[in-house]
């Protein structure tokens, strides 16, 4: 059997069963994007995310500073979604000896920009030779309360931090390779290359979220994580889903269904959370009911989105 036959989440289940262990200091272990342990009474978060050549980026096409920025952002986003802040990081990368020093230095300049924006320190790492570039980044964060995915409550509202779907449209524009792009297209492309983790929402998440996730695989697929782990039904209200003007122009120009981008586009790194409070700094897009599944008004939505295999 090939790993592609069972998919990413099937694979995680299989491997987890091999290595499972007991440790009373582990608050959240395998199966979440972020692990949480108790160290002398402090809740410490761990997460890891990688950018691989030809999977996540094309070496000759990408701006390496964006690559460094995005590498840090995808990780910080996972930590923020748990109500935490990033503290320390280790960078493990592979490259061939023929790699231009200027490329690697530019990746690190992008990471430095992220260090200054998100406020963390790089404290170590590893360099190994390979004919393929890959940048793996391990983050340590801390939180006062672990905000997970299994604690959404019936009666909660669903809140979204900003319109989504932009990143996927940006990626399609990059892959299209047309030379001249309109302003709204440049904006969508920048959203793909340089997403910003919503660290500005950390207090909101920590204080008010019953459950929370960042949108990396797509709004619906990520909400399915909350739905399944919390055993609740999530209802999105179509007329409340925010629509980005640039994405609208894109969909009009290329004759695309905008809801396909909003519901299933990935890599936006916006925050979706559930809360029983009224929040003024986020967009209310739905609510939680008893039941299961993710719905758009009365229609159950398919669980699809980004899968690595």
Looking at residues 264 to 303 of the shown chain, list those that interact with a copy of itself (rule: CB under 8 A). Answer: none
Under the binding rule (CB under 8 A), the answer on residue 221 touching a copy of itself is no
Tell me whether strands 42-52 and 157-160 are parallel, antiparallel or unpaired: unpaired
Cα 215 to Cα 164: distance, rounded to the nearest angstrom: 9
Q: Is 77 in the site for a copy of itself (CB under 8 A)?
A: no
Question: Minimal distance in Å, beta carbon 5 to a copy of itself?
Answer: 7
How many of the other CB atoms lie within 10 Å of CB of 20? Answer: 9
* Cα separation, 173 vs 171, whole angstroms: 5
Does the protein bind a copy of itself through residue 243 (CB under 8 A)?
A: no
Residue 60 as a binder of a copy of itself (CB under 8 A): the answer is no
Stretch that binds a copy of itself, among 44-52, 205-213, 246-254, 255-263 (CB under 8 A): 44-52
Report d(CA 50, CA 138) in Å as an integer: 9
- 14 labelled binding-site residue: no
Closest to a copy of itself by CB, 114 or 196: 114
58 binds a copy of itself (CB under 8 A): no
Contact with a copy of itself (CB under 8 A): which of 67, 84, 88, 259? Answer: 88
Of the candidates 59, 63, 117, 134, which one interacts with a copy of itself according to CB under 8 A? 134
Of the candidate residues 61, 129, 177, 255, the single one contacting a copy of itself (CB under 8 A): 129
Q: Does residue 13 belong to the site contacting a copy of itself (CB under 8 A)?
A: no
User: Minimal distance in Å, beta carbon 113 to a copy of itself?
Assistant: 10
User: Alpha-carbon distance 222 to 218, whole Å?
Assistant: 6
Answer for which of 57, 63, 85, 94 binds a copy of itself (CB under 8 A) is 94
The answer to whether 225 and 213 have CB atoms below 8 angstroms apart is: yes
| CA pair distance 135, 106, nearest whole angstrom | 13
The correct pick among 62, 64, 77, 136 for binding a copy of itself (CB under 8 A) is 136
DSSP string covering 178-228 = -S---HHHHHHHHHHHS----GGGHHHHHHH-SEEEE-SS-HHHHHHHHHH
- Is residue 172 classed as helix, strand or coil in its secondary structure? helix
Least gap, CB of 197 to a copy of itself (angstroms): 16
């Amino acid at each position: 059997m090939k790993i592609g036959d069972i998919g990413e989440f099937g694979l995680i289940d299989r491997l987890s069963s091999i290595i499972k262990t007991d440790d009373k200091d582990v608050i959240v272990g395998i199966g979440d994007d972020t692990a949480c342990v108790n160290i002398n009474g402090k809740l410490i978060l761990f997460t890891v995310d990688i950018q691989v050549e030809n999977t996540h980026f094309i070496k000759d096409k990408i701006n390496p500073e964006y690559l460094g920025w995005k590498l840090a952002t995808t990780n910080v986003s996972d930590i923020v979604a748990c109500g935490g802040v990033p503290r320390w990081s280790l960078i493990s990368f592979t490259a061939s000896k023929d790699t231009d020093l200027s490329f690697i230095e530019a990746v690190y300049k992008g990471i430095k920009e992220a260090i200054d924006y998100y406020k963390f320190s790089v404290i170590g790492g590893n360099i190994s030779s390979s004919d393929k570039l890959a940048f793996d980044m391990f983050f340590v964060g801390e939180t006062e309360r672990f905000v997970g995915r299994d604690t959404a409550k019936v009666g909660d509202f669903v809140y979204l931090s900003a319109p989504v779907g932009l990143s996927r449209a940006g990626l399609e524009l990059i892959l299209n390779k047309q030379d001249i792009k309109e302003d709204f297209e440049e904006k969508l492309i920048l959203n793909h290359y340089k997403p910003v983790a919503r660290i500005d929402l950390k207090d909101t998440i920590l204080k008010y979220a019953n459950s929370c996730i960042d949108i990396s695989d797509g709004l619906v697929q990520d909400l399915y994580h909350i739905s399944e782990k919390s055993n609740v039904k999530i209802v999105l209200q179509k007329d409340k889903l925010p629509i980005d003007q640039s994405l609208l122009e894109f969909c009009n120009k290329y004759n695309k269904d905008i809801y396909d981008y909003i519901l299933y586009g990935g890599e936006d790194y916006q925050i979706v959370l559930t809360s029983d409070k009224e929040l003024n700094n986020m967009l209310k897009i739905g609510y939680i009911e008893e039941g299961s599944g993710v719905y758009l008004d009365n229609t159950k939505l398919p669980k699809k989105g980004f899968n690595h295999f």
